[in-house]
Structure 1
Amino acid sequence: MKGLVVALLGSVIVVPVPAQAYVALMAGQSARPLNGAFNNVPVLHSNQPEEVLGPGILVDTRPGSGIAAETNQPLANATYTFNGEFGLHVHHKYDPADRSRIRGSNGRRGELTLATILINPGSNPVHIRFKKGAVRNSFEAPYLANNLMGVKPLGPRPWNTGPGDATAVQMLRGQLDRRLEDEITIPAHSRIVLFSTALPALGIANGLLRGRSDGPFQMAVVAAREPRNDADILAVLDSRRLAPGRIYLSRIRQIQNGTVFSRVAGVALGDTYTASLNHDLGQGALHVPLTSTNRHHFGTRDVQVNQLASRMIDSSLDNVGTYGVRFDVQLNLQGAGPHQLVLSHPTPNGKHFTAFRGSIGIETDEGYREVHVGMRSSQSLPIASLNLKPGQSNPVKVSLVYPADATPGHLLSVVPDQQMAQLRQREDLLAAAAAQAKQAKPAPVVPPVQAQPAAAAAAKPTAPKPLAAKPVSKPRPAAPAVTATPGWMHPLPTVPVLQGMPPAVITPTRMSQSLMERYQQAVQAQQQLMNSLMGR
């Protein structure tokens, strides 16, 4: 059991919460594992360091090593040779160590160019065809923290909220950006620059690609400071110097024992996760984990994280973020009437943040549609209405390419309309009770100022003398001649008198018995609402 700590009217109440019910929509219910599987397509992930401080190599799959800027010691490369189907995911922010580059000169910020290099170590040319993908930076696709929240339909020209979302939409739709070549040849014993993007200070870039080669090759991602041509980019690779910003080099042991999660710099096996299950909604609502992790699997022990075939020493141990991975979940539903397809995210450690902003495809027997979802932690958002037909299987397929800058560990649910309505009603009641409790909180009591005797006051100079700090004693009773009612004595709004609730501990001050009783009732009402919300 976990405990939810709630502060009410100066009291602290600990509400026991079942570990599997930290998504309120699932309170009192359980989740099923998807038991899906990843394919074996190798994908180079370049996301560590996420924040790059200057030029250098970010990840290199050739045999060998690079010299770390932080320690001046060699770090082994994430060695891997690709041959056949492959993928690429690049996600970095330029956060210059030289802060003057943020301001720039003549109104122009300093820039860092991110580039991907293809390397052919063999004696035969290697031909590559690209199937889908895109590269975007945050000036082409701005990341606005509170933009496009909620659920919105996605038209032919998609919404996007940052480069991670913009590239994920292209991958979801199986499209290749027109600025990228669909075919490329790497001559024998040669290297070529696949793409590059100039990134002004504090900008973010994201790239997602899927392709197929007819021979072996390697890849590297580098950061170059305002290169004039491809030769300057290749010179960074030849320097064998790693880019600064590797903040996890001092936490290797914590990465290895699983207490710290770094970003990924290495090759993951799998760019698609598929799952299928049958469920009879007559037996209860359906809840399944989506992008689940060791920390957030909703009691199912179903962890949807793929493994790494090679990694830099300061990389995470597996592909915990699953950025760029496509999830295809087929639900075959028995049931009847109106239901809601809902995406949820828990509230880890009581923190509130933007947990997902991306695009989701939904296919039913009525057709295919796409929605854009902006979700904060602790939210449950209906992403589609389902009208299930009795006596038959109702197929629902959910597809998404998990975008960068999202936080994995989501819950996918199919619930009756009334269950979603009850959740909204509970949320409204809780918000109303919190507002009522806030209004009922008494104002702080200020001790009355004691007037000085007239003779003593006349003997003192006109300018007031500063008073020395003294311990505050108990406030004196108000003078009988005062007839105005103090603000803290105004009647509270009527709240229900609840029976059988344990009394809260309240320390009386200058408070009437009537006010104390109302104060007590407000606390008890809030307790009952919290218990209702937790499904107790």
Structure 2
Amino acid sequence: MLSFLPILLAQATPNLPPKEIIKPQEVRALPGQLDSVLVFNSNSPEVVQQDGILLSTFPPIGKRVPTAHLDQAFEGRFDIFAHHIAKALTPEDLRTLYLGIIVHNPGQVPVTVDTLQAASYLSQPDAPFLDIPSFVDNPIGSVFAGPGSRAVNEVLRGQRQEEFSPQLVIPPGESRMILNVPIPVKPLTPPLNGRSTLMRLRSTGKVYIASLGMFAKTDDNGNERAPTLEEWQTLLDTGDLVTPRDQPPTPLSATQNAFAYGRVAGVAVGSQWLSQVVDRGSDRLNIPNPGQAFSYGLSLLYRGTMGTGQNQNAKVIKRYPDTAYEAHGNYGIEYNLAMPLYNPTSQDRAVTLAVENPLKREDTQQGLRFFEPPARSVFFRGTVRVRYKDDAGLPQTRSVHLVLRRGQQGDPLVTLNLKPGERRLVEFDFIYPPDATPPQVLTVRTLD
């Protein structure tokens, strides 16, 4: 009888909802700001089920549907971010969807586009959403959960996937494909697949960009093939925006409780958030008192400022009327934070740094709210990096892949033992991954 007691107790105990707990820690606005680099941000509609235009910054002149073109040139440094899903319309329709990104040179001299870093991955088979532990060291980038997690991690490491040419030369008045890749659904069950792409680029002149979706063409033998440049160009000139559309956003001026952010399809401003995280009027960051902590918001957004009043969203300067007003979530944006930690006391202090996923609340005066245990839903999948000198004075770099669930407290990324009066620089950086839900926080804690 006794050997069955644990099983009987488990069967008799209902699944209780997680308990909400409050951790008394100050939440601070993050110093710094986004840079002014333009980002081509293609994420609406997320699910693509017909041929058409996803996002076009071409001039509307000469196009069959002028309203599908936003008329915004790119020059110098800019980014391209694209995140889309293919889903079969019927169980029998298993055609491969292609994602094409076309770049046009409107000038009278050749334009060179350099690919600085770039990565593009499918959910299946490249980067499935694996159920992996919440905290895994990731020194060489081999740990990922989802295509967004994998793509942004490689760009953070300064890599350029071999499928991308290091340089693209576009003759005057001509266009070239910078991306022409499949999102297959066969033989997946269910027939559903996604692709995440991030590119950091630099051009020597003005270019226009468009992302488009098109089902594979067939050759004379009935085999699928990728669309040609001419076929993409025809779709750009004569096509309309892909339907069905995503849910439109709630106007930012709305006062009702229900709020829809919408998905992004437009040109946003800001590729990196650079910050010296210091106390006001100082060149250093005093650590908390023993047993206390403070947190800085990461990817704070409208109606999600965690009580700071700070909105870190990249502003969208060109958009379609039914797409997001801001690049909420800051997908593909790098956070690069320098934290000169300082121990102002006369005793040794142990200090930790952690990324956490508190509940999205504005009433943070008493502290941050967490669930114990955390909820099932995953709110963050991605790699973060810390660089510092250890207690022996040796430089260290640690990359950790995190899977944070709603209401989950964070494990320490690093623990530093600071001597009295010691100042030590810690650099924290990551690229906010697609398939994540903002906001998160970066917590500095001094142990008892």
Residue 245 of structure 2 aligns to which amino acid in structure 1?
R
1:49 equivalent in structure 2:
45
Q: Distance in 2 between matches of 1:345 and 1:293?
A: 14
Seen in structure 2, the aligned counterparts of structure 1 residues 263 and 247 have a Cα distance that, compared at 3 Å, is: closer
Q: Distance in 1 between matches of 2:91 and 2:326?
A: 33
Q: CA deviation at 1:76?
A: 4.3
Q: Does residue 1:170 correspond to 2:200, yes or no?
A: no
Residue 298 of structure 1 aligns to which amino acid in structure 2?
M
**Alignment RMSD (CA, Å):** 2.7
2:189 equivalent in structure 1:
none
Q: CA deviation at 1:310?
A: 0.9
Q: CA deviation at 1:298?
A: 2.1
1:266 equivalent in structure 2:
266
Q: Distance in 2 between matches of 1:372 and 1:120?
A: 39
Structure 1 residues not aligned, in runs of 5+: 1-8, 16-21, 102-108, 419-536
1:234 equivalent in structure 2:
233
Q: Larger deviation: 333-342 or 38-47?
A: 333-342
Q: How does 1:104-253 map to 2 (within 5 A)?
A: 109-144=94-129, 147-201=131-185, 202-227=192-217, 228=225, 229-230=227-228, 231-248=230-247, 251=248
Q: Does residue 1:58 correspond to 2:54, yes or no?
A: yes
Q: Distance in 2 between matches of 1:48 and 1:199?
A: 16
Contact 2:331–2:432 (CA<8 Å) still a contact in 1? yes
Structure 1 or 2: more strand by fraction: 2
Contact 1:41–1:271 (CA<8 Å) still a contact in 2? yes
Q: CA deviation at 1:382?
A: 1.4
2:349 equivalent in structure 1:
337
Contact 1:328–1:399 (CA<8 Å) still a contact in 2? yes
Corresponding residue SS for 1:177:
coil
CA deviations on 1:49-98 (whole Å, 9 max, x unpaired) are 11112211100001229999xxxx86342321001111000000012334
Q: Distance in 2 between matches of 1:160 and 1:365?
A: 26
Q: CA deviation at 1:362?
A: 0.4
Residue 196 of structure 1 aligns to which amino acid in structure 2?
N
The runs of 4+ residues in structure 1 deviating greater than 4 Å are: 65-68, 252-256, 348-352
Query: Which among 278, 282, 287 is matched to residue 281 of structure 1?
Result: 287
Q: Distance in 1 between matches of 2:123 and 2:245?
A: 22
CA deviations on 1:140-195 (whole Å, 9 max, x unpaired) are 42332x52231111122421111111110111111111111011111111111111
CA deviations on 1:210-267 (whole Å, 9 max, x unpaired) are 111111110000011103442323332122222223133xx46657748321111011
Q: Does residue 1:411 correspond to 2:396, yes or no?
A: no
Q: Does residue 1:368 correspond to 2:397, yes or no?
A: yes
Q: CA deviation at 1:203?
A: 0.7
1:386 equivalent in structure 2:
415
Corresponding residue SS for 2:28:
coil
Q: CA deviation at 1:282?
A: 4.5
Q: Does residue 1:75 correspond to 2:75, yes or no?
A: no
Q: Distance in 2 between matches of 1:255 and 1:265?
A: 17
Q: Distance in 2 between matches of 1:66 and 1:359?
A: 44
Using CA pairs under 8 Å that are at least 6 residues apart, name the structure with larger relative contact order, 1 or 2.
Answer: 2
Q: Distance in 1 between matches of 2:169 and 2:439?
A: 39
Structure 2 residues not aligned, in runs of 5+: 1-12, 186-191, 218-224, 279-284, 362-370, 391-395
Seen in structure 2, the aligned counterparts of structure 1 residues 301 and 348 have a Cα distance that, compared at 3 Å, is: closer
Q: Distance in 2 between matches of 1:290 and 1:66?
A: 43
Residue 289 of structure 1 aligns to which amino acid in structure 2?
G
Q: Distance in 2 between matches of 1:385 and 1:122?
A: 51
Q: Does residue 1:298 correspond to 2:306, yes or no?
A: yes
Residue 32 of structure 1 aligns to which amino acid in structure 2?
R
Contact 2:68–2:241 (CA<8 Å) still a contact in 1? no
Residue 413 of structure 2 aligns to which amino acid in structure 1?
A
Q: CA deviation at 1:352?
A: 4.7
Residue 213 of structure 2 aligns to which amino acid in structure 1?
A
Corresponding residue SS for 1:171:
helix
Contact 1:224–1:232 (CA<8 Å) still a contact in 2? no
Q: Distance in 1 between matches of 2:266 and 2:357?
A: 28
Identity of aligned residues (%): 25
Corresponding residue SS for 2:273:
strand
Structure 1 or 2: more helix by fraction: 1
Contact 1:66–1:75 (CA<8 Å) still a contact in 2? no
Q: Distance in 1 between matches of 2:341 and 2:119?
A: 35
Q: Distance in 1 between matches of 2:435 and 2:335?
A: 17
Seen in structure 2, the aligned counterparts of structure 1 residues 67 and 312 have a Cα distance that, compared at 3 Å, is: farther
2:327 equivalent in structure 1:
319
Q: CA deviation at 1:296?
A: 2.4
Seen in structure 2, the aligned counterparts of structure 1 residues 362 and 66 have a Cα distance that, compared at 3 Å, is: farther
Q: Distance in 2 between matches of 1:362 and 1:408?
A: 20
Seen in structure 2, the aligned counterparts of structure 1 residues 264 and 66 have a Cα distance that, compared at 3 Å, is: farther
Seen in structure 2, the aligned counterparts of structure 1 residues 343 and 397 have a Cα distance that, compared at 3 Å, is: same
Q: Distance in 2 between matches of 1:410 and 1:186?
A: 41
Contact 2:51–2:212 (CA<8 Å) still a contact in 1? yes
1:529 equivalent in structure 2:
none
Q: Distance in 1 between matches of 2:73 and 2:66?
A: 21
1:85 equivalent in structure 2:
77
Contact 1:34–1:289 (CA<8 Å) still a contact in 2? yes
Q: Distance in 1 between matches of 2:42 and 2:316?
A: 13
1:437 equivalent in structure 2:
none
Contact 1:55–1:224 (CA<8 Å) still a contact in 2? yes
Q: Does residue 1:96 correspond to 2:88, yes or no?
A: yes
Contact 1:345–1:380 (CA<8 Å) still a contact in 2? yes
Corresponding residue SS for 1:84:
strand
- TM (norm. structure 1) is 0.67
Q: Distance in 1 between matches of 2:320 and 2:89?
A: 22
Corresponding residue SS for 2:241:
coil
Contact 1:65–1:75 (CA<8 Å) still a contact in 2? no
- TM (norm. structure 2) is 0.80
Contact 1:84–1:213 (CA<8 Å) still a contact in 2? yes
Q: Distance in 2 between matches of 1:165 and 1:134?
A: 11
Contact 1:66–1:242 (CA<8 Å) still a contact in 2? no
Seen in structure 2, the aligned counterparts of structure 1 residues 110 and 256 have a Cα distance that, compared at 3 Å, is: farther
Q: Which structure has the greater CA radius of gyration?
A: 1
How many corresponding residue pairs?
386
Corresponding residue SS for 1:380:
coil
